[in-house]
Amino acid sequence: MAFIDILKIKNYIPIRDLANMLKVSEMTIRRDLKILESQNIVKNIDGVIIYDPMDSSLREESQYDFNAELDKQFKKKSNIGKYAASLIEDGDIIMIDTGTTTQHIISNINPSINITALSYNINILTELRKNPNIKNPNIKILFAGGYYYPNTQMFASVQGVKFIEGIRATKAFLSAAGVHEELGLTCRNSYEVATKKAVINSSIKRILLVDSTKFGVIRSEYFCDLDDIDEIVTDSKISEEWKNLLKEKNIKLHICN
C-alpha cells in the first residue's frame, strides 16, 4: 500500500507508525513528506501527518477542464500521440487511457493494420468513430461505460472496471498528471484510479504518454509505481537526470522533437 493510500484510509498517522507500516526509516518518511507538503497534499503537525483533501490547491485540481487542457502543450502532445501510434502493430489489442495526449494516437494509426481498441472516454471514442478504418472495419471498438465525468470526459464504474478486467491487451497507452521517482504515477481524480489499475493489470506492455512538464510532479491520487511502466513517450525537454533514472530502471524511453 502506498504512502497516500494509507493516509486516505486513516486521515492522520504519526510519522513513526507510518515508518513501521512501510518498513522504512523515519528519515525516509520525512523526506517524502516534504514533497507532499510542498504540493499542499498533507500537513505535518508535531510529528503527525494529516491528509487534507479539502485544501484549496486540491479544490483547484478538481476544477480541471478537459477542453482547456487541450490547448496546453498542444504541439508536444500531438507529436507524442503520433509517435505512440507508430508503436501499434497489426493484430494489437490496445487500451487507451483518459487524457489530452492519448487522443492524438487515433488519427495517426497506420490505416493498413487491424486492431482492437478499448476506451472509456467520449473523446477517444469519438476519434475512433471518425477514423475511416472503422468502415472496413480494421478497427474493432470496445467501450467500458459508467458514470460520465464532464471535466475529463471519462466514464467510470464498477461494471466498467470488471469489463476491463475481462479483457487482455497487448499494449496499454496510459496518461498521468504527475510522475515521481519515489511516489509513483499520480492523477487528479480518485474516480480514475480503479480504471487505471485495471488497465495496467490487464496489459502485457504499459506505455506512458506524458509531456516533460509532468516529471517530478505529484498529484493527490496514486495509481501505480514507476517500475510498473515498460516504456515512456515524451518530448525532448526531459532532463538528463530523468533520462538516466529511466535507463537505470530499464524503462524504454522514446523522445519526440
- pLDDT tens track for 101-139: 998 998 898 888 899 999 999 989 988 887 666 555 678
- Same domain for 121 and 41: no
CA distances from 52 to 112, 193, 202, 249 (A): 51, 19, 32, 32
The span from the CA of 191 to the CA of 189, in Å, is 5
pLDDT-derived band of residue 56, with 50, 70 and 90 as boundaries?
Answer: very low
HSE of 144 in the Cβ direction (CA atoms, 13 Å)?
A: 27
Domain end position, chosen among 61, 82, 104: 61
Three-state secondary-structure class, residue 232: strand
The span from the CA of 196 to the CA of 11, in Å, is 23
The pLDDT assigned to 138 comes to: 77
Burial 39-55 (b: 16+ CB within 10 A, else e): bebbeeeeeebebbeeb
pLDDT higher than threshold 90 for residue 155: yes
- Same domain for 111 and 51: no
- Same domain for 250 and 224: yes
pLDDT higher than threshold 50 for residue 58: no
The pLDDT assigned to 182 comes to: 83
Residue 23: how many other CB atoms lie within 10 Å: 7
The pLDDT assigned to 44 comes to: 80
Three-state secondary-structure class, residue 13: strand
- CATH code (residue 33): 1.10.10.10
The pLDDT assigned to 136 comes to: 56
- Same domain for 214 and 88: yes
- Same domain for 121 and 198: yes
Nine-digit cell string for 171: 499494449
- Same domain for 219 and 162: yes
Compare 80 and 65 and report the one with higher pLDDT: 80
The span from the CA of 179 to the CA of 183, in Å, is 8
- Same domain for 213 and 156: yes
pLDDT higher than threshold 80 for residue 9: no
Mean pLDDT is lowest, of 6-10, 45-49, 175-179, 233-237, for 6-10
Q: What angle do CA 141, 198, 210 make, to 5 degrees?
A: 80
Compare 234 and 60 and report the one with higher pLDDT: 234
Q: Which residue is listed with cell 498529484?
A: 219
Task: Let me know how many helices (H) and strands (E) the chain has, helices first.
Answer: 10, 15
Instruction: Quote the crossing angle between the two packed helices 15-22 and 26-38, to the nearest 10°.
Output: 110
Mean pLDDT over residues 142-161, rounded? 93
pLDDT higher than threshold 60 for residue 244: yes
pLDDT higher than threshold 80 for residue 52: no
- Same domain for 84 and 51: no
pLDDT-derived band of residue 59, with 50, 70 and 90 as boundaries?
Answer: very low
Domain end position, chosen among 38, 61, 84: 61
Q: Give the rounded percent of residues in the chain with a pLDDT score beyond 70.
A: 87
The pLDDT assigned to 137 comes to: 67
Helix (H) or strand (E) holding 119: strand 115-119
The pLDDT assigned to 151 comes to: 87
The pLDDT assigned to 64 comes to: 54
In the chain, alpha helices (H):
3-10, 15-22, 26-38, 56-61, 66-70, 74-86, 122-130, 158-165, 193-201, 240-248
Nine-digit cell string for 37: 507538503
Quote the mean pLDDT of the chain: 86
- CATH code (residue 172): 3.40.50.10470
The span from the CA of 113 to the CA of 214, in Å, is 32
The pLDDT assigned to 46 comes to: 77
Compare 167 and 1 and report the one with higher pLDDT: 167
- Same domain for 54 and 86: no
Compare 163 and 188 and report the one with higher pLDDT: 163
Which range of residues forms the domain containing residue 24? 3-61
pLDDT higher than threshold 80 for residue 99: yes
Q: What is the pTM of this model?
A: 0.76
The pLDDT assigned to 51 comes to: 75
Domain end position, chosen among 19, 45, 61: 61
- Same domain for 17 and 104: no
Three-state secondary-structure class, residue 245: helix
What is the number of domains present in the chain? 2
- Same domain for 87 and 34: no
- Same domain for 205 and 87: yes
